[in-house]
Structure 1
Amino acid sequence: MKKRILSVLLCVVMVSMLLMGCGGKSDDGGSADGDSDKDSGGKEKIGITIQSLKNDYWAGVMGKLEELLKEEGYEYTLVDCSDNAPTQVSQIENFITSGCDLIMVHPSDAEAVEGICGEALDAGIKVMCWDDPMENTTANWILDNTALGRDIGEATAEFINANYTKDAPAKVCTIGYPSTKVLLERETGIKEGLEEFCDDGVFEIVASVEGIEADKALANVETVLQAHPDCTIFAGVGAGAMIGANEALLQKFGGAGKIPENVGVITTDVTMQQLESLKAGDEAVRAIVGFEGSSLDTAKACLEMYKRILSGEDFSGDKNVVRPTRAITVDDVDDIIAGM
């Protein structure tokens, strides 16, 4: 009888040890779903779905955001939907099923995820949208994308006015991504800014191409340069547009230090590659219209939004929290690089 009792007790101990082992760490030291090494300390669970991590800007900011989430002990999962709306809907469904306290979505298609985000709200989960003024959310962290585009257009116009005349106007190419609503708004704003701030008759838009990712922008700008070899100004909606266009121009003119002074690329977003090109001063990058500052600055501002939402702050009066923009110049580029 004693042997039977001892055997049962041993079985209970072994089962308990197996159960304790469930929830172990992954090979890289973090948990399989993105936990930090330390105990979450009761911190909430966050699900994050991003349009594309192939975009240099998003990759940089999300890398810093992950560092901050780990430091503060949050449990989180961060996924990339590869700019595919059905995939993103499925990801949000998984976040609901897994019991997230907060879901942040950077929509591939905002209309396509409205329904599933409404289901998350019905399940008592808070929802934050980055970029789109969605309806079925707790709060939206957004840019006025038309206004941002106008700022890019104004910065481009300043460069054009300083280097071109009505007798010898600039040939301009805009680089956008019209299938995404906010980026279409941004490109529209660029064109409005050029019209408003350029001197009369000093520019002509000869091409408009896609280029949210650097490799696509590079290929499309090369095509533009073949069709319009006198095209010298490229204004775009993001980091990929700048990186790709700058590389195409470096190839055309023979490398850094050989770019003519009247050739320029102006876009938004802030990546290390953009900042280094701006700081170098001998490439085609002429101006960057940025946001909070560095990738770390933006990640901190995003985490602050998480905390505001999770704390129960009431956004019912105006759920659209508009992010500030700022011009990045060679004067403060070193400070921003330090935060990348």
Structure 2
Amino acid sequence: MKSLVTALLVSSLAMIAGSASADNNWSMTIKSRSPAFDVQGEWTEKKYTPLPASEVTEKWEICVLFPHTKDPYYIAMTYGAVAEAEAKGLSMSVFAAGGYTELPTQISQMEDCITRGADAIMMVAISATGLNRTISAAAEKGIPVAITGGEVDSDDVAARSLGNWFDSGRIAGEYLNSLHPAGSEPVKVLWMAGPEGPNWSRDSADGFVKTVEGNDAIEVVKVIWGDSGKATQIPLIEDALQAYPDIKYIGGIAPAIEGGIQVLKEKGREDIKLIASYMTPELEKALRNGEVLGVVTDYTAAQARIAIDQLVRILEEKDVDADVDTGFGMIDAKNVNAVDRSLSLAPEGWEPYFRVE
């Protein structure tokens, strides 16, 4: 078995000792495509159950690459990866590049994982195409790469575990269409799309815009792009409110909606409602207390757990659903108490750490 000697962490979070849940009894409904990665392949709905720890024969070394770990989305991703690694008795190192602008850093981190002998790599790619050469380099060395969180355009990916981000925007759009059907009083909407480079943010924006097109009751006045940090999103929202004072909805990425809660309170804009395209703990609380109308979830933690399980199945030469769509769900006040939050979020109080021995 190969091993990573050290983990060169590029993250604003400190390494914290602790333990994620080692429970390996989770499962969820997914769609599996066959043949895998074939656009003409058939999707089949099924229950995904992880490989039991008793069937893991080696302490495989897994390298995990994230764009950053500065928001709850990637904390949930980290939790899912760490929890599954501990449940299976793996070794694992988690690397964060520092942001969606740090493609060279992520490439360097992936090259380091390959050089140091990782058995497998799980990643959320900063760019849809920018990691292709490095993914190919891993594949040439027999190191399987699983993607989650967003698509890449490489043919050398061994597994994928993610939702179609078009569906994230589509579900938000369908929700708004149900509230404002064609022919009703028109409303104006602002969509905070997030970083422009990754496929996931562009797909989500497309899903929303195309779903409300043709509904004369909904006008998307602007799609605004910007880094996914809340500090970036708040001034974008403030500027947008000056440019479009008559909007009735703000939708989009979680940090923007978290920032929107703050901005709308400060400005006394109780007439504007908020809809988020993915879940965070702050938005879960805001949903419960009525500050947010609805939140789409992509089952973030479960995506990471499945990606780790896929890699282990490949390494162990077991049967694997290599092409998995985890789907999305709409959560509002009506169903928030019925949702299994462990599929989307880290447990309350869980602190991220970046090395599993």
TM-score (norm 2): 0.72
Which residue does 1:251 correspond to in 2? Answer: 266
Tell me which amino acid in the other structure corresponds to 1:334.
Answer: N
Q: Which has the higher contact order (CA 8 A, sep 6+)?
A: 2
Preserved contact between residue 41 and residue 73 of structure 1 (Cα < 8 Å): no
Moved more, 78-87 or 151-160: 151-160
- The 3-state SS of whatever aligns with 2:261 is helix
What does the per-residue CA deviation read over 1:49-87, in whole Å, with 9 as the maximum and x for residues that have no partner?
Answer: 111222321122313432442344211110111221111
How far apart are the structure 1 equivalents of 2:238 and 2:146? Answer: 38
Instruction: Say if 2:180 is the partner of 1:165.
Output: no
Change (3 A) 1:323 1:338: closer
Matches within 5 A, 1:285-324: 285-292=292-299, 296-313=301-318, 320-324=323-327
The answer as to 2:238 corresponding to 1:222 is: yes
One of 329, 346, 351 as aligned partner of 1:326: 329
1:113 and 2:131 are equivalent in the alignment: yes
| Residue of structure 2 aligned with 1:277, choices 283, 286, 295 | 286
Distance 1:299 1:179 in 2: 21
User: Unaligned 5+ residue runs, structure 1?
Assistant: 1-21
RMSD: 3.0
Shift of 1:227: 1.7
Letter in 2 for 1:230: D
2:255 aligned partner, one-letter code: G
For normalisation by structure 1, the TM-score amounts to: 0.76
In terms of mean alpha carbon deviation, does 114-123 or 151-160 score higher?
151-160
Counterpart for residue 9 of structure 1: none
Q: For residue 162 of structure 2, what is the amino acid of its counterpart? A: I
Q: Partner of 1:240 in structure 2?
A: 255
Residue 337 of structure 1 and its aligned partner are, at CA, apart by 7.3
Aligned ranges 1:64-83 → 2 under 5 Å: 64-82=80-98, 83=100
Is the 1:101–1:125 contact (alpha carbons within 8 Å) kept by the matching residues of 2? yes
How far apart are the structure 2 equivalents of 1:113 and 1:186? 21
CA 1:298–1:320: 2 relative to 1, 3 Å: closer
Q: Quote the sequence identity (%).
A: 23
Partner Cα distance (1:71, 1:207) in 2: 45
Distance 2:84 2:319 in 1: 24
Q: What is the CA–CA distance in structure 2 between the aligned matches of 1:79 and 1:27, rounded to whole Å?
A: 11
Larger Rg, first or second structure (1 or 2): 1
Q: Is the 8 A contact 2:64 2:121 kept in 1?
A: yes
Q: What is the count of residue pairs matched by the alignment? A: 291
Higher mean alpha-carbon deviation, 77-86 vs 299-308, is at 299-308
TM-fit CA distance, 1:309: 3.1
* Aligned residues of 1:55 and 1:239 also touching (Cα < 8 A): no
State the one-letter code of the partner of 2:279.
V
Q: What are the within-5 Å matches in structure 2 for residues 40-55 of structure 1?
A: 42-55=58-71
The offset of 1:138, in angstroms, is 0.8
Structure 1 residues 94 and 41, CA gap change in structure 2 (3 angstroms): same
Q: Which residue is equivalent to 1:141? A: 161
Measure, in 2, the Cα distance between the counterparts of 1:28 and 1:213.
Answer: 22
